[in-house]
Every structure is written in C-alpha cells, then in structure tokens.
Amino acid sequence: MDFNVHEGTKGTMELVVADEHSASKIGSGLADVYATPAMVALMENTAQTSIKDDLPEGYATVGIEINVKHIKATPIGMKVKCESILKKVEGKKLLFEIEAFDEVGKIGEATHYRYIINSKDFMSKIQK
C-alpha cells in the first residue's frame, strides 16, 4: 500500500505546563518542573498528529524509538511549544526531528521513529 506521507511535513503543538506535567506528579523526579516523560509525550504527539490526516482510514502510527535530550528545566505555568519535521520516509518507517521551546528558549530535542500500522491488524496481533 502507498502512503501519502511526505518528507518535510511539519507539526506544531503547544501547552501550558500544569501541575500534572511536573516531575513530582509523574514520578520521574522530585522537582515541580516540566517532566521529561511529559516532554517526550508532547514530542510523540506532535509527530504523530502532523501526519495522521495523510494516512488511509484504519491506519495510524506507533512510536518505535526516541532519542531525547532534555536541555533545560521549565517551571509550572510557562508555555511550551513543540515542533516536528518528517525528515525521512522509508516505506512504513518514518523519522522525525523534534524540538521543544519554552518562553525563554530551547528546552529539548529528539529524533523519533514511528511505524505505520493497520490499527485493526495491530490490535488483533497484540491480543494473541
């Protein structure tokens, strides 16, 4: 099957860091700052959302690898913006480059691989 995803596709998402995004609430640390797992979730969501409308009905993507650097702490209440770009398409395997910024500057960067799946077949296989 041919998929209508193209290198260069960009995505953007924003959020305001809330208490539920903090390391102390998520359990990844004790500080009341934006947690690395929360940033990773935003990065993955930005990437997958950027191409979801380009996939045929019944298809989605799953994350298979992420290499992330959390460069700087962000306090609760500050806005975070995440930007992704689809850098490489190899059949069903997609490579994204992602950056995250708060109101002061860059807070994180990642390379992220996603894989195109047939949602029904995928769910059927994991139930076995």
Annotated binding-site residues read 63, 114
Q: Which residue out of 70, 83, 99, 111 is catalytically annotated?
A: 70
Question: Which value, to the nearest 10 degrees, does the dihedral of the CA atoms of residues 85, 22, 14, 102 take?
Answer: -80
Q: Which residues are part of a known binding site for CoA?
A: 63
Burial class (CB in 10 A: 0-12, 13-18, 19+), 24: middle
User: Which residue of the set 9, 36, 49, 111 is catalytic?
Assistant: 36
Question: Is 7 an active-site residue?
Answer: no
Catalytic, out of 44, 61, 74, 112? 44
- 8 A C-beta contact, residue 7 and residue 87: yes
Catalytic-residue membership of 44:
yes
Binding site for substrate: residue ranges? 63, 114
70 catalytic residue (yes or no)? yes
If phi > 0 it is left, if psi is from -120 to 50 it is alpha, else beta; for residue 90 that is beta
Give catalytic residues, as residue numbers.
36, 44, 70
